[in-house]
Amino acid sequence: MSSPNSPDRFNEEKSTYTVRGSDAPDLEMGVAAIRNVLKTLPTRPGVYRMLDARGEVLYVGKARALKNRVTNYTQVDRLPKRLQRMVAQTRSMTIVTTNNEAEALLLEAQLIKRYRPAYNVLLRDDKSFPFILLRQDHDYARIQKHRGARKIKGDYYGPFASAGSVNNTLNALQKLFLLRSCTDSFFRARDRPCLLYQIKRCSAPCVGRIEQNAYAELVADAKAFLAGKSTQVQAKLGAQMQAAAENMDFELAAVIRDRLRALTFIQGSQAINAEGVGDADIFAMACKNGVIGIQAFFIRGGQNWGHRSFFPAHTADVPEDEVLTSFLTQFYEEVPPARTVFVDRELPEAALLADVMTVQAGRKVDLSVPQRGTRRRLLDQAKRNAEEALDRRLAESTTQAKLLQEVADLFNLPEPPDRIEIYDNSHIQGTNALGAMVVAGPEGFRKGQYRKFNIKTAATDDDYAMMREVFQRRFARAAAEDPDRDAGEWPDLVLIDGGKGQLNAVKGVLEEMGIEDVCLVGIAKGPHHGRDGREVFHLLDGREFQLPVNAPVLFYLQRLRDEVHRFAIGAHRAKRAKAIGASPLDEVPGIGPARKKALLMHFGTARAVRGASLEDLQKAPGVSAAVARQVHDFYHAK
């Protein structure tokens, strides 16, 4: 069964209409392409996509009546310059009809996220939101941090604004409710309490230090607390501590006292007072110098679960109401909305937005602008935070622009680079080798565009050969997918973590591909491995130089180099850990996790499975005769 916001939920009628002609941006050709679509366009609700000559999505829009909305694009004199440029690039359109406007708004948000069009307001955020998950698939519920799809059976609490806020809350919850955080396999393997029990952050249900009904009571208290009933939990603990003291059980009283301290910590760490608000998401916008910032507060059960600043992209010449509406639809495409959503302005499509949020949440969601009381005070606080965050952003942007100009001057670039790619390799004695690429721009690191390259053909103990393979694969793909270099995927500057040898290896690869206009720079560590600011910069013309140790541009380049090093090491460790956990049985086709586990449980080791006879394999529980034959033939085929 499809989810409420899955694309296959819509009654889709897709049609593409194309006008052939020159690929050069031309307003008349764009209008002609749109008018051709209008000939057969219905007046039903739906979503439209503007496509350029290569079929790349320029813009995704929704409409209550498609024909009426798309007709506006043919009246070019009434369009802002931004949309005139879009129409000039349009060569075809794709139309998807829906049952109603709410479905169109949902589909629009999904398509914007998928295609990242150049003319849509984009929620530029690479990080998913963390949740606290109280799992219910075990007799002793586990509490843990969770990101991604919510497929595990249990209760989810969130979103939290950052990993830091959820980690702090989790630590305090462990002290308060003594719930286990270990995996099920770790839980089963214990024969004595672990360190968390010793430091009073777990009740050790794994070894029977707490009865199941008593643990269930702790779980119930945790649910009550996370639902906003902290006062109720506090009163209960206070009564238990008093009773323990009256019974002269001072050790138990001390344990409960420490739990009360954890509760007080959580209550005292609230940066804002949201008592009585319940569950609410609060959004306020600030705009200055053409840049828009949006501040979000997340309130659950009257508790502040953190706040985050967002700076949407492609907002130039877009009305602020439209920016906030587009932001909210994209934001709630993945995050479940609270029961109440507060915004700092009346939105023209507020009722439609509320309907969409209600569909996504599966319950009633209210969207409103509070006017007085605690809710208004919270909204005003969010507004101040939005303005302060935007001021910091603008100050950082000014500094960043200055640094990028210095980079351009340093490496003789015609203008400040918009896309910088940094490369590094990582391996241990030739094993689990891979190359890594990170991307930076005026707004900082673009983590969604990081890439890792598993080394396939080069000798993994040859750094030069590895770097050649990485660049051959990267730029062969760029040349095939973006030959005109107008999609923003070609770098203005390439930094290589290495010296003259790596630089010359890369230069040779690009020359063989006919690419000679990419600025390449090698960054070699100095005598003390770059820790004293004595990096040596190698240029293609053979020049080498060092920068003053206190130069801001040096610190910036070091940050870029350190980021690719961090990413490469992390990817290498993940690959190595996966290799350590691999089994020879993984090579046998048709053997999934369940059958692999059954074989290992029966024979003990993969070596024993490999040496087993056909008759012995057939005796393993859960292994059919056909599977046994498949395993036996794999290892004993002549």
| pLDDT value of residue 538 | 92
Residues 368 and 353: their CA atoms lie apart, in Å, by 11
Residues 32, 12 share a domain: yes
In contact, 294 and 284? CB cutoff 8 Å: yes
Phi and psi angles of residue 189, each rounded to the nearest 5 degrees, phi first? -85, -10
Is residue 193 one of the residues assigned to a domain? yes
Find out whether 97 and 11 touch, Cβ atoms under 8 Å. Answer: yes
Amino acid at 160: F
C-alpha span between 233 and 41 (Å, rounded): 60
Q: Assess whether 191 and 297 both reside in one domain.
A: no
Contacts 24+ apart (CB under 8 A), 511-514: 513/472, 513/475, 513/476, 513/479
Are the beta carbons of 21 and 114 closer than 8 angstroms? no
Contact between 480 and 597 under an 8 Å Cβ cutoff? The reply is no
Residues 259, 304 within the same domain:
no
* Total count of domains within the chain: 5
Structural domain containing residue 364: 280-391
With respect to residue 123, please indicate whether it lies within any of the assigned structural domains. Answer: no
Check whether residue 473 and residue 536 sit in a common domain.
yes
**pLDDT for the residue numbered 198:** 85
Q: Judge if pTM exceeds 0.95.
A: no
Answer yes or no: is 398 within a domain.
no
> What totals of helices (H) and strands (E) does the chain contain, helices first?
20, 20
* Burial letters 162-193, b for 16+ CB under 10 A, else e: beebbebbbebbbbbbbbbbbeeeebeeeeeb
The 3-state DSSP class for residue 206 equals helix
DSSP state of 148: S
Same domain, 111 and 206: no
Nearest alpha carbon to residue 89 among 64, 52, 56, 114: 52
CA-based nearest residue to 228, from 269, 263, 262, 275: 275
Whether residue 351 sits in one domain with residue 303? yes
Question: How far is Cα 62 from Cα 170, in angstroms, rounded to an integer?
Answer: 41
State both tokens at 371. 């006017």
- Same domain, yes or no, for 32 and 65? yes
Contact of 609 with 585, CB cutoff 8 Å: yes
Q: Give the end of a domain, one of 221, 237, 268.
A: 268
On whether the CB atoms of residues 423 and 496 are closer than 8 A, the answer is yes
Torsion of CA 155, 157, 163, 168, to 10 degrees: -100
* Whether residues 174 and 260 fall in one domain: yes
Q: Indicate the SS3 state at residue 137.
A: coil
- Per-residue pLDDT at 11: 45
CATH number at residue 601: 1.10.150.20
Residues 6+ apart with CB under 8 A from 37: 17, 70, 93, 95
CATH number at residue 490: 3.30.420.340
Residue 336 near residue 365, CB atoms below 8 Å? no
State how beta strands 131-135 and 154-157 pair.
antiparallel
Asked if residue 422 lies in contact with residue 497, where contact means CB atoms within 8 angstroms, the answer is: yes
d(CA 119, CA 56) in angstroms, rounded, equals 12
For residues 423 and 444, what is the distance between their CA atoms, to the nearest angstrom? 16
d(Cα 410, Cα 417) in Å, to the nearest integer? 12
User: Considering the domain boundaries, does residue 575 fall inside one?
Assistant: yes
Q: Examine the domain organization and report whether 347 and 482 are in the same domain.
A: no
Low-confidence ranges of the chain (pLDDT < 50): 1-24, 269-271, 530, 638
Look at strands 280-288 and 57-63 and give their pairing: unpaired
pLDDT of residue 272: 55
Are 591 and 623 in contact by the 8 Å Cβ rule? The answer is: no
pLDDT for the residue 249: 75
> What are the residue ranges of helices labelled H in 546-592?
552-580
Please give the helix or strand (H or E) that residue 454 lies within, else none.
strand 451-454
CATH number of the domain enclosing 35: 3.40.1440.10
Same domain, 199 and 263: yes
**pLDDT (0 to 100) of residue 4:** 43
Residue 234's nearest CA partner among 257, 200, 210 is 257
Report d(CA 322, CA 59) in Å as an integer: 14
pLDDT, residue 528, reads 56
The answer to the question of residue 414 being in a domain is no
The answer to whether residue 124 is domain-embedded is no
CA–CA distance, 368 with 379 (Å, rounded to integer): 11
Instruction: Tell me: do 98 and 45 sit in the same domain.
Output: yes
Q: Establish if 126 belongs to a structural domain.
A: no
| 413 domain residue, yes or no | no
- CA quadruple 259, 264, 270, 272: dihedral, nearest 10: 150
Is 366 found in the same domain as 292? yes
Say which DSSP state 7 is in. Answer: G
